[in-house]
Amino acid sequence: MESELARRDLQLEAAEAASVAKSEFLTRMSHELRTPLNSVLAFAQLLRMEDLTPEQADCVDHILTASRHVLDLTEEVLDIARIESGHLELSMTSVPALEVTSEAVELTRPLAERTGVSLHIEIDPEPVLRVRADRQRLLQVLLNLLSNAVKYNQPGGRVVVTCDDAGSDRARLVVADTGGGIRPEDLWRVFEPFDRLGAELSAVEGTGVGLSLSRELTQSMGGRLDFESVPGRGSTFFVELDSTTSNGEEGEEKA
Ligand code: ADP
C-alpha cells in the first residue's frame, strides 16, 4: 500500500515537472518568435509604402497577413502559458462596463465596416454598471467575442452588445450576432484550442485559440464565458463577472 502511494507521488511529481517544462518552453518560444516577427512586420509595412506594381503589392500583403497571423498566435500561446504556469498578472479593479464595451466596439468597427456588419451597444448609461475585472484583459475578451461576431456573420448582419443582471451580484455582458450559428454537434468543440470547426477551409482568418484563451482569462478573473447558438439564426456569447459598486483599485493579483 505504502509503495503504491509512493509510486503515485512520483508520477504526480513527474507530471507536474513536465507541465512546468512545457509552459517554460512555450513562454521562451513565444518570446523568441516575437522579436523577429515584429521586424518582419515593420519592414513589410515600410515596403508597402513604396511605389509597387500590383503584383508586388499583393506579395507584400501576403507577408503582412501571414506575419500578423503568426504574431497573434504567438501572443495567444504566450498568454496560455502564463495562465498555465500561474504567471498571469491581473490588475483587478472596478471597471465601468459601458466604457470598456464602447472601446471594444470602436476598435472592432473597421473590421465590421469592411464586411458590411453593423455594431450596436444597448447598455443604459445610468446607473453606471461596474464589473470586477482586469480592464485590459476584459477588453481583450470582448474584442475576441466582437471580432468573432463580425467574422462569422453575413453581409448586412448585426451585432448587438447588451448587459444583463445575472443575479447574485453578477453582471453579464452579452454579444449577439446574426451569423450562421454553430451546429449542435459542434458545440463541444468551440472552446477546444486550435479547433476552428471547419472555418480553416473558408477565407475567414483566425487561429482557433481566441475563445479558449478568452474563457481561461475570464475564469482567472472569477468569471464565466459561455454561449448559445441557433444554426441559421446566430450566436450569443456572454461574459459573466461580479458586479461592483465601488470604483476603487483592488490591487494586483495572480491567476
Ligand atoms: P478563430 O481564431 O478561428 O476565430 P476562436 O477560438 O475565436 O477561433 O473560435 C473558435 C471557432 O468557433 C471559430 O473558428 C468558429 O468556427 C467558431 N465561432 C466562434 N465564434 C463564432 C460565432 N460568433 N459564430 C459562429 N461561429 C463562431
DSSP state letters, 189-234: GTTSTT--TTGGGSS----S-HHHHHHHHHHHTT-EEEEEEETTTE
Instruction: Compute the average pLDDT of residues 180-205.
Output: 92
25-67 confidence digits (pLDDT tens): 888 888 888 899 999 999 999 999 999 999 999 999 999 999 9
Q: In this structure, which residue's CA is closest to atom 19 in ligand 1? A: 148
54 Cα–ligand 1 center, Å: 32
Question: Which atom number of ligand 1 is nearest to the Cα of residue 181?
Answer: 25
- Whether residue 9 is predicted with pLDDT greater than 60 in this model: the reply is yes
CA 240 from centroid of its chain's CA atoms: 15
Q: Give the model confidence (pLDDT) of 109-134 as tens digits.
A: 999 999 999 999 999 888 889 999 99
Pocket of ligand 1 (CB under 6 A): 144, 148-149, 152, 177, 179, 182, 190, 196-197, 199, 206-212, 235
Give residue-wise pLDDT tens across range 60-107. 999 999 999 999 999 998 899 889 888 899 999 999 999 999 999 999
User: Dihedral sign, CA of 108, 136, 170, 247?
Assistant: negative
Task: Retrieve residue 116's grid coordinates.
Answer: 458590411
The confidence score (pLDDT) of residue 145 equals 98
pLDDT of the residue at 249: 47
6 has pLDDT over 60: yes
Q: Is the pTM of this model over 0.75?
A: yes
Mean pLDDT of 218-244: 96
Confidence check: pLDDT of 252 > 70: no
Task: Name 50's Cβ contacts closer than 8 Å, sequence gap at least 6.
Answer: none
Distance 48 CA to ligand 1 centre (A): 30
CA distances from 71 to 42, 111, 124, 140 (A): 12, 18, 37, 15
Model confidence at 250, in pLDDT bands (50, 70, 90)?
A: very low
Q: Kindly give the distance from the C-alpha atom of residue 110 to the centroid of ligand 1, in angstroms, as a whole number.
A: 19
Name the residue of 196, 226, 235 to mutate for ligand 1: max ligand atoms within 8 A of Cβ.
196
d(CA 176, CA 52) in angstroms, rounded, equals: 41
Torsion angle of C-alpha atoms 152, 154, 155, 157, degrees rounded to 10: -100
Cβ atoms 190, 100 nearer than 8 A = no
What per-residue confidence (pLDDT) applies to 251? 46
Q: What are the structural domains, with CATH classification, of the chain?
A: 2-85 (1.10.287.130), 91-254 (3.30.565.10)
The mean pLDDT of 207-225, rounded to a whole number, is 96
Q: Which atom of ligand 1 is nearest to the CA of 190?
A: 12
Assess whether pLDDT exceeds 50 at residue 216: yes
CA distance 169 to 248: 17
Q: Residue 216: phi, psi to the nearest 5?
A: -65, -40
Ligand 1 center to residue 218 CA distance, Å? 17
